[in-house]
């Protein structure tokens, strides 16, 4: 899990997630209640590769993924 601050100053926790059909996502969970959980699909083909790529992201790269994210369907 990684914590970062978006462009508006809100804190988010970012985690790597995997849907049942195998697609990997960056999942963004707000630290404070209010905003919806968000997600962005990732291009990694394996969980191991996705985890490594995710761990290598700096805060600016996390913000870029966050900026492309959409609310996660429930």
User: For residue 28, is pLDDT > 80?
Assistant: yes
- Computed over every residue of the chain, the mean pLDDT equals 91
Confidence of residue 26 (pLDDT cuts 50, 70, 90): very high
User: For residue 17, is pLDDT > 80?
Assistant: yes
User: How far apart are the C-alpha atoms of 23 and 9, rounded to whole Å?
Assistant: 29
Handedness of CA 58, 60, 63, 68 (dihedral sign): negative
User: How far apart are the C-alpha atoms of 62 and 13, rounded to whole Å?
Assistant: 10
List, for residues 29-65, the tens digit of each pLDDT value. 999 988 899 999 998 888 898 899 999 999 999 999 9
């Amino acid at each position: 899990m990684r914590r970062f601050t978006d462009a508006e100053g809100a804190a988010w926790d970012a985690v790597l997630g995997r849907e049942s059909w195998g697609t990997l996502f960056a999942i963004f969970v707000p630290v404070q209640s209010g905003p919806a959980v968000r997600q962005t699909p990732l291009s990694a083909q394996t969980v191991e590769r996705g985890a490594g790529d995710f761990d290598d992201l700096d805060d600016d790269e996390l913000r870029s993924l966050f900026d492309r994210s959409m609310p996660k369907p429930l």
